[in-house]
Structure 1
Amino acid sequence: MENRADRVRTALLAAFPGAEVAIRDDSHRHAGHAGARPEGETHYAVRVVTPAFGGMNRVARSRAVHAALAAEFDAGMHALQLELRAPGEG
């Protein structure tokens, strides 16, 4: 059975084919906070580098990622820390 990080990676690669995707589960750092669950898999840091972000502002990039991950939010994912870049951006 896939864990949430695997499903997040699959969803992001489906939305942004060929993207560079890095995912870190930070749920342990949020124990006791809003949205945290004892089993974890609620808080993630995600880095996506894709040409699809070229010409998009920060808000549009974030909306695109959140749309791609809507099913995971519906299934209990609580928070994402995002680093969203086009190739060549610092």
Structure 2
Amino acid sequence: MRLDLFLKATRLIKRRTLAKEVCDAGCATINGRPAKAGDSVKPGDSIVLDLARRRVEARVLALPPKQPGKTDMSAYLDILKVEEKERDF
């Protein structure tokens, strides 16, 4: 499954276009290497998203169907760490 589709299906990012933009900006890594939106995701992969307000580390447990239910996320994704970033004004 493509990374941008996986991020949308697991609700780590709400829209596929936003997931693609995050990947194109270099804010996503798979197993420690920079990832593009079209890169394949498979069970066992480690994903890190370095977003504007937080950093999320997760492990892929299984590939979800295109539109899984909201309560099914724990079957597909294990959130390892979420770090909130300080906001500088």
Give yes or no for TM over 0.5.
Answer: no
In the superposition, the TM-score normalised over structure 2's length comes to: 0.32
Greater C-alpha radius of gyration: 1
Higher relative contact order (CA 8 A, sep 6+): 1
In the superposition, the TM-score normalised over structure 1's length comes to: 0.32
**Bigger fraction of residues in strand:** 2
**Bigger fraction of residues in helix:** 1
